[in-house]
């Protein structure tokens, strides 16, 4: 009987991309990641698999044995972080180099046994080829399916002006991530924000003292504000059980506010942002900043042994870049009046939201955990001491932020040829007392009450009222300065969990009876937090 034909050794080159595709497929259901993010990791993984295969083929003089050894090492490297994370939770904090060396010894022993195998592993090679191909196909199909199922985002009402614009002032929209309202800052953080509020008012701002965000998460909030609409229709189209945030990101990227202003002859100016959906690059002027490691690649590196040896250095560099990006935003605001107008400037600053990288006088702070931009229970884990530290660090970063905001406003007002429109707004409230999966364990007042300040010069601007919410921000501006036929919408707010971004829980401020105490009573001490150093 003729010997069976030796099967091709494919599995090392399929197991190498599998963990990357799996991580990508999992993440794009919740947080869309540009496809370009996986190109370099895939190339590195395939290159590593090829080098390992060639080395072991030379050592063992056997394609099958070389494939087994290469697959084993590739899978060990790309799954090590998952193993350590599981052990860290199970054992209460084991995450050190001893585990790396212990597993490395086991892998090397396994490789040695493979080399001593007397025969070519033809049957095992066939099985591993099928398994690896199946894993790659499943994850690739998941990526394609997720992309194909995303609904088309409706454009919404036009609202174009029926007659010439009353004025065309430069417009600044400054979004301060997680900036809470003054009364909440006093109650939760023990921070008196009165001097800052009075400073804005002295510069001609109206501060809406009873303003709430329309939604408690950035994606929903900005999708709503920049499209001047609520998201109920989108939720119905996408499905209330969906966790796919790409439709929200698509609304932000293709928003109506920028489209409207472009139709009125405005240039769009943006600043480097910490998150991809608000990092508008294809605009008339982009104030860039040296890129730090992307969030997806950071998570991918955390699945390898890399953080055990270089994690602290990598985090320090990432925190430096994050700090630099915040400071760059303020420098850009101060230089913007020299831009050719009229222009609309959009600036999203990831502060006072964590990570807390700035002290009250602008001194550098470096958190004691691997780089992350999470907040709420994802960061402090509902552990009382961590919550107390969260409050202190938020307060310190806020103090410095206030100083830079007033300085930027002064520069804008002094350097502008004509009085500009300026909106300074929190996208949602602070989250010292928030469990992003359980509203009953969250102080919703804190999560939704926001800073909302308007500089609307001249009679065309009208006036912002105390209860105005972000959905009416540009309706108010476009009506006043462009004669746009846009009615103000009823001001309403909703809370949603991270896992179900389209299932909205209406928030009635007048009827709400929650408090810090009630949120504390519902805390979940076992809630996950970021990995501390």
pLDDT digits (tens, 9 = 90+) for 400-432: 999 999 999 999 999 999 999 999 999 999 999
Residues of the chain with pLDDT > 70, as a percent, come to: 85
Pairing, β 493-495 against β 505-507? antiparallel
Nearest alpha-carbon partner for 231 in 509, 510, 500: 500
- The pLDDT value given to residue 129: 92
Residues 6+ apart with CB under 8 A from 101: none
Contact call for residues 241 and 500 (beta carbons, < 8 A): yes
Residue 136 CB coordination number (10 Å): 18
- What's the pLDDT tens digit per position in 287-303? 987 655 556 776 777 77
Say if residue 174's pLDDT is above 70.
yes
- The pLDDT value given to residue 317: 74
- The pLDDT value given to residue 31: 62
What is the phi/psi pair of residue 343, to 5°? -140, 155
- The pLDDT value given to residue 528: 52
3-state secondary structure of 363: coil
| Residue 90 to residue 526: CA distance in whole angstroms | 12
| Residue 450 to residue 497: CA distance in whole angstroms | 18
Q: Which two tokens stand for residue 119?
A: 């025969």
- The pLDDT value given to residue 462: 72
Lowest model confidence (mean pLDDT) among 135-139, 215-219, 521-525: 521-525
Claim: this prediction has a pTM higher than 0.85: no
Say if residue 3's pLDDT is above 70.
no
Q: Can you say whether the dihedral through the CA atoms of 449, 450, 455, 456 is positive or negative?
A: negative
| Residue 287 to residue 429: CA distance in whole angstroms | 27
Q: Which residue has the higher pLDDT, 82 or 112?
A: 112
- The pLDDT value given to residue 1: 38
Question: Which H helix or E strand runs over 252?
Answer: helix 246-253
- The pLDDT value given to residue 312: 54
Mean pLDDT calculated for residue range 444-473:
93
Residues 6+ apart with CB under 8 A from 27: 33, 296, 299
- What's the pLDDT tens digit per position in 38-53? 888 899 999 999 999 9
Say if residue 107's pLDDT is above 80.
yes
- The pLDDT value given to residue 508: 94
Residue 246 CB coordination number (10 Å): 23
- The alpha carbon of residue 310 and the mean position of all alpha carbons in its chain are separated, in whole angstroms, by 23
Q: Which residue has the higher pLDDT, 291 or 71?
A: 71
Pairing, β 267-271 against β 343-349? parallel
- The pLDDT value given to residue 166: 61
- What's the pLDDT tens digit per position in 282-338? 899 999 876 555 567 767 777 777 766 765 555 677 888 889 999 999 999 999 999
**What interhelical angle do 218-225 and 246-253 show, nearest 10?**
40
DSSP letter assigned to residue 212: B
Q: Which residue has the higher pLDDT, 234 or 85?
A: 234
DSSP letter assigned to residue 217: S
- The pLDDT value given to residue 222: 98
- What's the pLDDT tens digit per position in 190-213? 999 999 999 999 999 999 999 999
**Banded pLDDT at 93 (limits 50, 70, 90):** very low
Residue 401 CB coordination number (10 Å): 21
**Banded pLDDT at 517 (limits 50, 70, 90):** confident
């Amino acid at each position: 009987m003729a010997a069976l034909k030796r099967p091709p050794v494919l599995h090392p080159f399929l197991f190498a991309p599998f963990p990357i595709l799996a991580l990508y497929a999992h993440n794009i259901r919740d947080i869309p990641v540009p496809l370009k993010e996986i190109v370099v990791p895939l190339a590195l993984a395939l290159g590593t698999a090829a080098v390992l295969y060639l080395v072991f083929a030379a050592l063992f003089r056997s394609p099958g044995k070389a494939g087994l050894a290469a697959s084993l090492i590739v899978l060990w490297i790309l799954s090590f972080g998952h193993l350590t994370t599981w052990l860290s939770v199970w054992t209460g904090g084991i995450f050190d180099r001893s585990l790396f060396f212990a597993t490395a010894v086991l892998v090397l022993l396994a490789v040695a046994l493979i080399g001593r195998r007397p025969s070519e592993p033809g049957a095992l090679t066939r099985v591993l080829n099928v398994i690896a191909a199946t894993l790659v196909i499943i994850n690739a199909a998941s990526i394609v399916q997720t992309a194909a199922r995303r609904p088309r985002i409706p454009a919404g009402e036009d609202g174009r002006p029926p007659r010439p614009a009353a004025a065309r002032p430069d417009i600044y929209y400054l979004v301060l991530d997680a900036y809470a309202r003054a009364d909440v800052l006093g109650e939760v953080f023990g921070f008196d924000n009165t001097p800052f509020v009075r400073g804005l008012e002295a510069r001609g701002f109206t501060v809406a003292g009873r303003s709430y965000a329309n939604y408690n998460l950035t994606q929903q909030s900005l999708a709503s504000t920049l499209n001047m609409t609520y998201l109920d229709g989108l939720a119905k189209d996408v499905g209330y059980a969906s966790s796919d945030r790409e439709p929200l990101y698509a609304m932000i990227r293709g928003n109506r506010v920028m489209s409207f202003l472009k139709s009125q002859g405005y240039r769009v100016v943006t600043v480097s942002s910490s998150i991809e959906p608000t990092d508008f690059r294809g605009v008339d002027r982009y104030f860039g900043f040296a890129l730090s490691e992307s969030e997806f690649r950071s998570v991918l590196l955390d699945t390898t042994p890399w953080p055990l040896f270089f994690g602290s250095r990598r985090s320090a560099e990432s925190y430096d870049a994050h700090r630099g990006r915040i400071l760059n935003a303020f420098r850009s605001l101060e230089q913007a009046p020299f831009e050719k107008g009229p222009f609309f400037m959009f600036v999203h600053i990831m502060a006072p939201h964590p990570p807390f990288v700035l002290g009250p006088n602008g001194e550098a702070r470096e958190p004691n955990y691997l780089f992350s931009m999470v907040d709420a229970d994802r960061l402090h884990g509902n552990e009382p001491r961590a919550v107390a530290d969260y409050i202190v660090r938020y307060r310190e970063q806020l103090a410095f932020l206030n100083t830079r905001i007033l300085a930027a406003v002064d520069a804008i007002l002094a350097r502008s040829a004509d009085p500009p429109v300026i909106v300074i707004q929190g996208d949602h409230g602070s989250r010292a007392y928030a469990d992003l999966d359980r509203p009953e364990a969250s102080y919703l007042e804190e999560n939704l009450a926001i800073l909302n300040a308007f500089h609307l010069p001249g009679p065309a601007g009208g006036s912002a009222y105390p209860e105005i919410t972000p959905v009416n921000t540009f309706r108010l501006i476009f009506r006043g300065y462009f004669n746009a036929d846009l009615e103000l919408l009823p001001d309403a707010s909703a809370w949603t969990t991270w896992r179900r971004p389209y299932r909205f829980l209406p928030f009635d401020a007048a009827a709400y009876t929650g408090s810090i105490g009630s949120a504390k009573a519902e805390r979940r001490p076992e809630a996950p937090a970021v990995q501390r150093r």
